[in-house]
Amino acid sequence: MRHPELIKPGARACLIGIGGISMSSLAFALARRGLTVWGSDRAQSAMTDRLEEAGIRVVHEHRGDTVEGADVVIRTAAVHEDNPEMIRAGELGIPVLERAEAWGQIMRGYRDVVCIAGCHGKSSTTGMATHIALEAGLDPSVMIGAQLSAIGGNYRVGSGGLFLAEACEYCDSFLQFPPTVAVINNIEEDHLDYFKDLEHIKRSFRKFAELVPPRGAVAANRDSENVRATLEGYDGRIVWFGLGEGCEVTARDLATDGGYPAFTLVRPDGERRLRLRVPGEYNVYNALAAAAAFYVLGTDLNATARGLAAFGGIARRFERCGEVGGAPVVDDYAHHPTALRELLTAVREMGYQRIICAFQPHTFSRTAALYEEFKKALSLADIVLLADVYAAREENIYGVDMAQMAREIDGAVYLGSFERIAAYIREIVRPGDMVLTVGAGDIWRVNRILTGRT
């Protein structure tokens, strides 16, 4: 059951876990809407520094008195009922919203809401959509789960009637959103600490599609068997995209130039040739997803093509960060076997002599559930350096052993710490290599050690 409208100018909002990528963007958005905002996060980071520089107070511990004086408390799904601030909010009778519900309340003030979902590619597709909207002069508001240079961060408050939102399925968060266009790029097994199985995930995506009103549409990847099965019998409008038959939005004459795709974008309103500035076939699907969404909105094809061609990537998605030993160092967020396989396949097409991949698994539950798939994906690299699992919200009750995984992959070494990984890379790297630091945790620290970036 939804709470009454609590996100309004003049209200006082305390955010638990304010330093997270989505929570921080929510904090900035609320402040721009005229709310008084503060919050808590145990970890000091570049993001909490940005918040404090903007005048948003951050308490670097979880304690009950932080919520005192708030009209509403907003939490992430990772914050549980035994959190001291949650306990104190209950004692004081302060209403508590989950992060996604707060975003949902904001979105309901917009005419068009494009919610971009899928197990992979959400942030990149949202970034592409943002570039299209800017090229078309739509002045969008944006919520994205990564830093995008075109908007100077991970959020944007525009004056137009369009809201672009990255929509995550974890804990059914995206079911709190009000999409007029629901994008479904792919559906796979993931987040199995919440979802029971693939069928549970598909049911959630079907509910997401059913949130779309009659005037809207679902933009869906026809090449994904799971997406097709999820939407079987759906009686709303579907705009199919993909590379196969039966797609309204597709890519013709697809070619790669050094790993970077070029193709003719085909929609019912015409076609345009373009080249992407981001690599891999997976980014072709991301581009088609964004192009399909803006076809639903009636956005000019020329603006769509210009926006896609202008998109140069987002933070931690094939982000070139410098060099070590004459080899480029690239950071990427891939943390699911499919995303990892697609990344390594794209790099293989670039012609490097060796791919050195430093990989940090994200959560014990995902690593255990997809163990064999991770091994197969990692085998596409020439040298694999395994870090300890980024536990996030979990304990290792699954018996995950990264040293054992290393023994089961040709060319893999378990090194554990970031310092040991960076030192090993310096010893073996040579010109002609590509060095990748990969994962959704803090493996980017290896990248910083190697390149000296701050």
383: pLDDT strictly greater than 90: yes
Q: What's the confidence (pLDDT) of residue 22?
A: 83
Last residue within a domain, chosen from 264, 292, 310: 310
> Within this chain, do residues 177 and 199 fall inside the same structural domain, yes or no?
yes
Q: For 294-310, what is the mean pLDDT?
A: 97
Burial (CB count <10 Å: 0-12, 13-18, 19+), residue 427? exposed
CA distance 156 to 137: 14
Tokens standing for residue 439: 């994962």
- pLDDT at 4 (0 to 100): 61
User: Is 359 exposed, middle or buried (CB count within 10 Å of its CB: 0-12, 13-18, 19+)?
Assistant: buried
Mean pLDDT in residue range 167-189: 93
Residue 28 has φ and ψ, to the nearest 5°, of -65, -45
Residues 65 and 122 in one domain: no
4 within domain boundaries:
no
Q: Where are the alpha helices (DSSP H) in 43-98?
A: 46-53, 84-92
Identify the band that residue 122 occupies on the pLDDT scale cut at 50, 70 and 90. very high
Task: Clarify whether residues 52 and 153 are in a common domain.
Answer: no
In contact, 156 and 106? CB cutoff 8 Å: no
Do residues 324 and 301 share a domain?
A: no
**Mean pLDDT confidence for 189-210:** 90
Asked if residue 317 has pLDDT above 90, the reply is no
Domain boundary (269, 293, 310) is at 310
Q: Which CATH number do you get for residue 403?
A: 3.90.190.20
CATH assignment of the domain containing 276: 3.40.1190.10
Residue 62's domain comprises 12-99
Q: What pLDDT sits at residue 454?
A: 55
On whether both 223 and 250 belong to a single domain, the answer is: yes
The answer to whether residue 443 sits within a structural domain is yes
- CB neighbourhood size of 426 (10 A): 12
Q: Please tell me whether residues 153 and 302 are part of one structural domain.
A: yes
pLDDT value for 219? 98
What pLDDT digit, counting tens, does each position of 141-156 carry?
Answer: 999 988 899 998 888 9
Residue 52 is assigned to a structural domain of this protein: yes
* Dihedral sign (CA 60, 51, 157, 144): negative
In whole angstroms, what is the distance from residue 176 CA to residue 445 CA? 34
Work out the pLDDT band at 3, boundaries 50, 70, 90. low
- The rounded mean pLDDT for the chain is 93
Contact 181, 112 (CB under 8 A): yes
Question: For residue 435, which of 419, 445, 422 has the smallest C-alpha distance?
Answer: 422
The answer to whether residue 29 sits within a structural domain is yes
User: Per-residue pLDDT for 189 more than 90?
Assistant: no
- Average pLDDT, stretch 232-258? 95
* 180 token code pair: 């007029």
My answer on whether 136 and 178 are in the same domain is yes
Contacts of 129 (CB under 8 A, 6+ apart): 114, 116, 164, 290, 293, 294, 307
Asked if residue 93 and residue 124 are part of one domain, the reply reads no
Q: Please state the domain count of the chain.
A: 3
Kindly state whether residue 104 falls inside one of the protein's structural domains.
no
What percentage of the chain reaches a pLDDT higher than 70? 99
Res. 220: pLDDT tops 50: yes
Task: Judge whether 5 lies within some domain.
Answer: no
Q: Is the pLDDT assigned to residue 5 strictly greater than 80?
A: no
**Residue 211 maps to a domain:** yes
Could you tell me the pTM of the whole model? 0.87
Return the pLDDT at 80. 86
Q: pLDDT tens digits, residue range 355-371?
A: 999 999 999 999 999 99
Length of the chain, in residues: 454
**130 lies in the same domain as 261:** yes
- Which has more pLDDT, 192 or 127? 127
Mean pLDDT of 32-46: 91
Written as six digits, the tokens of 428 are 């073996």
**Where does a domain end: 310, 339, 370?**
310
| Euclidean distance between CA atoms 74 and 62, whole angstroms | 14
Task: Read off the pLDDT of residues 48-89 as tens digits, 9 standing for 90 and up.
Answer: 999 999 999 999 999 999 999 999 999 987 788 999 999 999
Q: Are 382 and 416 in contact (CB under 8 A)?
A: no
Q: Are residues 298 and 342 in the same domain?
A: no
Q: What 3-state class would DSSP assign to 111?
A: coil
CATH number at residue 51: 3.40.50.720
Structural domain includes residue 337 = yes
Domain co-membership, 32 together with 157: no
Same domain flag for 140 and 272: yes
Confidence tier at 1 by pLDDT (50, 70, 90): very low
Residue 452 in this model has a pLDDT that exceeds 90: no
**Range in 14-18, 31-35, 391-395, 416-420 with the lowest mean pLDDT:** 391-395
